């Protein structure tokens, strides 16, 4: 930002900008040099911003009609669905919006894994992103509790009980989280308070995420450092804004498809039964986006061990930039890593599938194999492959592929289109 010399044309603009350089900031954002080869996997940052704003706006509106009380919450959600003008629409956007948010964030994360966007010098962007992801999970979990249905209640019970696995102080922590001796009204009211807070924390982290991004600039499909600005870059506006807008349009069609045609397909019918502390539903499952972690939790036949592995599965991602020893960023030029990347994708999908199934028989075996492989990927495969792999030649710049116009770059391009 500092190298950017912007002087507003109008006198009033100059007067204002000297006092608060918002116009300089706007100019930086529009002119921001962006690699010209960004593909559609790079449009999910914009899509995620849209998701966050959608959740905040619909959430503020829902809070005008929702009542955070154990006796009234369930009825107030039905009141929103039946009585409030367009209440059904706003609630369905909010509930499906959470799923769309996670869908987008998973694509965004795996994009980073494929193209090595988490590597030096972008570790801080990656870590802030993971903090956002953790807050998203907390917000989604607490939001799911608010309708006070059976899945809300028992989901809250199971998740808060995870903390009781902590030696010595576990039970005190769980009671403290509940504000009661079980999940009860005090739990609901504090979850509502925090559920309202977290999106604004996320918004703050998003600002830091983008700020940190604008220091080194975007990574790109070939994963090389580029000169900025140069013939390898285009200004963010209008080139990237229009591409992001088009991707957002396609994303919105899918989003609207869920909202209008299958609004409950991602939810669970048990949550339309009011919370009952005397009866546990026969089959408790979290929302789909938490299933892989749930599978890891259940794959361990020990309570504390399961909890440690589940949180470990997320926290291991924080040290990922230092586990990956390869100097080449993009998987386009990493023939071995590329295959392990797809195995990891498959592994996470399998974990998600078995997380939704009963923890017995073949599902338990699959969950255990999947869990072991997940950790193996990060702890063993990544560091070792980084040393042993013979990477393909990397182009010198985006405009000049290796050996000018060789087959390597066309291969790279083909790969980009494929994934």
Q: What are the Cα distances from residue 319, in Å, to 168, 305, 339?
A: 28, 21, 21
Residue 300 binding another protein, by CB under 8 A: yes
When the beta carbons of 51 and 159 are compared against another protein, the nearer one is 159
Please count the other Cβ atoms lying within 10 Å of the Cβ belonging to residue 277.
Answer: 12
Residue 170 binding another protein, by CB under 8 A: no
DSSP 381: I
Q: Give the interface size with another protein as a residue count (CB under 8 A).
A: 37
- Cβ of residue 291: shortest distance to another protein, in angstroms? 14
Distance CA 309, CA 117 (A): 25
Task: Give, in degrees to the nearest 5, the angle at Cα 294 between 292 and 299.
Answer: 95
Distance CA 340, CA 326 (A): 14
Backbone φ and ψ for 279, nearest 5 degrees, come out as: -130, 125
Residue 189 binding another protein, by CB under 8 A: no
Task: Work out the burial of residue 95: count CB atoms within 10 Å of its CB; fewer than 13 is exposed, 13-18 middle, 19 or more buried.
Answer: buried
The enclosing H or E element of 276 equals: none
- Cβ of residue 24: shortest distance to another protein, in angstroms? 38
DSSP 174-243: HHHHHTSSSS-HHHHHHHHHHHHHHHHHHHHHHHHHHHHHHTT----TT-----SSSTTEEEIIIIIHHH
Distance CA 415, CA 354 (A): 30
Residue 326 binding another protein, by CB under 8 A: no
Q: Looking at 76, 95, 152, 160, which residue binds another protein (CB under 8 A)?
A: 160
Residue 298 binding another protein, by CB under 8 A: yes
Residue 71 binding another protein, by CB under 8 A: no
Residue 54 binding another protein, by CB under 8 A: no
When the beta carbons of 14 and 283 are compared against another protein, the nearer one is 283
Residue 197 binding another protein, by CB under 8 A: no
Q: Looking at 25, 158, 210, 356, which residue binds another protein (CB under 8 A)?
A: 158
Interhelix angle 291-299/335-355, nearest 10 degrees: 80
When the beta carbons of 194 and 208 are compared against another protein, the nearer one is 194
Mask for 258-297, x = binds another protein (CB under 8 A):
-------------------xxxxxxxx-------------
Q: Looking at 39, 49, 161, 397, which residue binds another protein (CB under 8 A)?
A: 161
When the beta carbons of 283 and 414 are compared against another protein, the nearer one is 283
Residue 182 binding another protein, by CB under 8 A: yes
Residue 142 CA to chain centroid, in angstroms?
A: 16
Q: Looking at 84, 109, 183, 198, which residue binds another protein (CB under 8 A)?
A: 183
Mask for 342-371, x = binds another protein (CB under 8 A):
----------------xxx-----------
- Cβ of residue 313: shortest distance to another protein, in angstroms? 17
Q: What are the Cα distances from residue 373, in Å, to 292, 351, 367?
A: 13, 10, 10
Residues that bind another protein (CB under 8 A): 154, 157-158, 160-162, 164, 175-184, 186, 190, 277-284, 298, 300-304, 306, 358-360
């Amino acid at each position: 930002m500092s190298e950017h010399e912007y002087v507003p044309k109008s006198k009033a603009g100059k007067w204002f900008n000297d006092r608060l350089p918002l116009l300089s900031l706007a100019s930086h954002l529009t002119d921001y040099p962006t690699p010209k080869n960004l593909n559609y996997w790079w449009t999910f940052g914009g899509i995620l911003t849209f998701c966050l704003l959608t959740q905040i706006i619909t959430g503020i509106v829902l809070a005008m009609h929702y009542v955070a009380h154990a006796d009234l919450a369930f009825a107030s959600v039905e009141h929103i669905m039946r009585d409030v003008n367009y209440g059904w629409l706003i609630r369905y956007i909010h509930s499906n919006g959470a799923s769309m948010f996670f869908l987008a964030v998973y694509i965004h994360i795996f994009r980073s894994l494929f193209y090595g966007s988490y590597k030096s010098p972008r570790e801080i962007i990656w870590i802030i992103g993971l903090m956002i992801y953790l807050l998203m999970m907390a917000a989604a979990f607490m939001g799911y509790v608010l309708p006070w249905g059976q899945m809300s209640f028992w989901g809250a019970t199971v998740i808060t009980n995870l903390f009781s696995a902590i030696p010595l102080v576990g039970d005190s922590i769980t009671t403290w989280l509940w504000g009661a001796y079980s999940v009860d009204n005090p739990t609901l009211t504090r979850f509502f308070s925090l559920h309202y807070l977290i999106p604004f924390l996320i918004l703050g982290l998003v600002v830091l995420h983008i700020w940190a991004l604008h220091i080194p600039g975007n990574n790109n499909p070939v994963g090389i450092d580029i000169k900025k600005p140069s013939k390898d870059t285009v200004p963010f506006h209008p080139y990237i804004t229009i591409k992001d807008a088009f991707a957002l349009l396609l994303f919105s069609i899918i989003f609207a498809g869920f909202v209008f045609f299958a609004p409950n397909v991602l939810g669970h019918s048990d949550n339309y039964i009011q919370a009952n502390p005397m009866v546990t539903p026969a089959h408790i499952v979290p929302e789909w986006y938490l299933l892989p972690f749930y599978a890891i939790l259940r794959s361990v036949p020990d309570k504390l061990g399961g909890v440690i592995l589940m949180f470990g599965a997320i926290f291991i991602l924080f040290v990922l930039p230092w586990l990956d020893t390869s100097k080449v960023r993009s998987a386009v030029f990493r023939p071995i890593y590329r295959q392990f990347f797809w195995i990891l994708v498959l592994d996470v999908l399998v974990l998600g599938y078995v997380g939704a199934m009963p923890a017995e028989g073949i599902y338990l075996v699959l969950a255990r194999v999947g869990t072991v492989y997940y950790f193996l990927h990060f702890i063993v495969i990544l560091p070792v492959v980084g040393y042993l792999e013979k990477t393909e030649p990397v182009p010198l710049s985006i405009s000049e592929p290796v050996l000018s116009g060789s087959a390597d770059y066309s291969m790279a391009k083909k790969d980009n289109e494929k994934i």
